[in-house]
């Protein structure tokens, strides 16, 4: 008889998924509210937490570090160019909650950084399930000189439309920034990864998994089926929630490796105001050089980051 081997477990992975919620308000009882308001330009802007600084800083730094040494080589009329693909773009403008601080949203952060570096993306693809937000992002990017191709709709659908129109020989950077795991359908990543030169910065909602893991593993139709297809054969749901969560993430990384996308060894855990884990910024790329860049820029502070390796 063949013995079933348990998926290898790593204690450092588990540390991302505490059994106890962080001090302060219980995240399980807190309902996430998405709020928008009208900006002076007449379009919507999103009201966000201050952790948006970390998310956008890492995005900007990756755009910068990959600009001079790699993207530059794809520019010019004889070359295929470079694209930025934002499948959960939001409106491209945010205000930090309880402040008057107004900032660009992710597609504008990437575009502005590429411009200031002298290595502009040839096209910026913006896409959001909410057509009003997609339109707002497109208008704001065009105003700043970007060539924008908007596609409103759920990412699992717009990814197909975008893949049909991008230049397959170009250099691509995709940003996936959904609120929850269910929207991060693995097929989105699988499809993006069919392009030879594709780097993907992925926001994985640790908060969603921490709050809902037990509910997700007992549901017949679980959001995990989209996020990490095949998980039922890989995850031992009799183990503690902490183990189950860690197994899910380990298996997700294996799925990425299965489509020849390597992930960085170290995860960037972004935490909220009471230090509760919010999300993990993962980076996946086929080329080692891209992972090397990520390794160089992922530290925003000198403090050690949480390892998922």
Ligand X SMILES: C[S@@+](CC[C@H](N)C(=O)[O-])C[C@H]1O[C@@H](n2cnc3c(N)ncnc32)[C@H](O)[C@@H]1O
Residues 6 or more apart in contact with residue 126 via CB below 8 angstroms: 86, 89, 92, 107, 134, 137, 138, 141, 148, 149, 150, 151
Regarding 63 and contact with ligand X (CB under 6 A), the answer is: no
Regarding 200 and contact with ligand X (CB under 6 A), the answer is: no
Nearest residue (beta carbon) to ligand X: 105
Q: Which is nearer to ligand X, 90 or 120 (CB)?
A: 90
Span of 21-29, 126-134, 251-259, 280-288 interacting with ligand X by CB under 6 A? 126-134
Rule CB under 6 A: choose which of 128, 199, 208, 250 binds ligand X: 128
Integer Cα distance of 40 and 38 in angstroms? 7
In total, the chain counts a number of residues equal to 309
C-alpha distances in Å from residue 273, one per residue of 50, 69, 307: 8, 36, 21
HSE of 121, CA atoms in CB hemisphere, 13 A: 34
Regarding 123 and contact with ligand X (CB under 6 A), the answer is: no
Judge whether 242 and 277 are in contact, CB under 8 Å: no
Considering only residues 159 through 198, tell me which ones interact with ligand X, judged by CB under 6 A.
Answer: 177-179, 183
Q: How many Cβ atoms are within 10 Å of 167's Cβ, its own excluded? A: 16
Span of 115-123, 125-133, 164-172, 218-226 interacting with ligand X by CB under 6 A? 125-133
Regarding 201 and contact with ligand X (CB under 6 A), the answer is: no
Q: Which is nearer to ligand X, 250 or 268 (CB)?
A: 268
Regarding 272 and contact with ligand X (CB under 6 A), the answer is: no
Q: Which is nearer to ligand X, 62 or 74 (CB)?
A: 62
Rule CB under 6 A: choose which of 74, 88, 216, 294 binds ligand X: 88
C-alpha distances in Å from residue 217, one per residue of 157, 209, 211, 231, 244: 26, 10, 12, 9, 9
Regarding 105 and contact with ligand X (CB under 6 A), the answer is: yes
Q: Shortest gap between Cβ of 226 and ligand X (angstroms)?
A: 10
SS3 for 169-232 is: CCEEEEEECCCCCCCCCHHHHHHHCCCCCEEEEEEECHHHHHHHHHHHHHCCCCHHHHHCCCHH
Rule CB under 6 A: choose which of 16, 44, 70, 129 binds ligand X: 129
Span of 123-131, 162-170, 259-267, 287-295 interacting with ligand X by CB under 6 A? 123-131
Q: Which is nearer to ligand X, 89 or 247 (CB)?
A: 89
Q: Which is nearer to ligand X, 189 or 235 (CB)?
A: 189
Integer Cα distance of 87 and 150 in angstroms? 10
Integer Cα distance of 236 and 232 in angstroms? 8
Q: Which is nearer to ligand X, 170 or 181 (CB)?
A: 181
Regarding 282 and contact with ligand X (CB under 6 A), the answer is: no
* Closest-CA residue to 108 (of 67, 136, 68, 72): 136
Q: Shortest gap between Cβ of 194 and ligand X (angstroms)?
A: 19
Residues that bind ligand X (CB under 6 A): 55, 87-90, 94, 105-106, 128-130, 133, 154-155, 177-179, 183
């Amino acid at each position: 008889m063949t013995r079933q081997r348990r998926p290898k477990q790593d204690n450092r992975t588990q540390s991302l998924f505490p059994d106890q919620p962080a001090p302060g308000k219980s995240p399980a009882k807190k309902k996430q509210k998405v709020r928008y308001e009208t900006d002076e330009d007449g379009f919507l802007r999103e009201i966000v937490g201050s952790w948006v600084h970390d998310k956008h800083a890492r995005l900007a730094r990756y755009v910068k570090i990959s600009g001079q040494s790699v993207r530059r080589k794809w520019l010019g009329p004889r070359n295929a160019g470079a694209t930025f693909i934002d499948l959960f773009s939001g409106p491209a403008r945010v205000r930090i909650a309880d402040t008057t601080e107004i900032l660009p949203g992710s597609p504008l952060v990437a575009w502005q950084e590429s411009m200031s570096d002298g290595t502009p993306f040839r096209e910026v693809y913006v896409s959001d399930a909410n057509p009003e937000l997609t339109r707002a992002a497109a208008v704001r990017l065009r105003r700043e000189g970007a060539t924008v191709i908007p596609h409103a709709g759920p990412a699992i659908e717009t990814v197909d439309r975008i893949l049909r129109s991008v230049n397959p020989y170009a250099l691509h950077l995709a940003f996936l920034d959904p609120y929850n795991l269910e929207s991060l359908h693995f097929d989105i990543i699988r499809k993006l990864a069919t392009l030879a030169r594709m780097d993907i910065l992925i926001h994985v909602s640790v908060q969603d998994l921490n709050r809902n893991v037990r509910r997700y593993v007992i549901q017949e139709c679980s959001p995990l089926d989209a996020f990490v297809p095949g998980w039922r054969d890989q995850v031992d749901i009799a183990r503690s929630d902490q183990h189950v969560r860690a197994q899910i993430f380990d298996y997700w990384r294996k799925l990425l490796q299965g489509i020849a996308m390597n992930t960085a060894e170290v995860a960037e855990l972004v935490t909220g105001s009471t230090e509760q884990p919010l999300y993990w910024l993962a980076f996946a790329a086929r080329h080692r050089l891209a992972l090397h860049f990520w390794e160089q820029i992922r530290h925003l502070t000198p403090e050690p980051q949480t390892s998922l390796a």
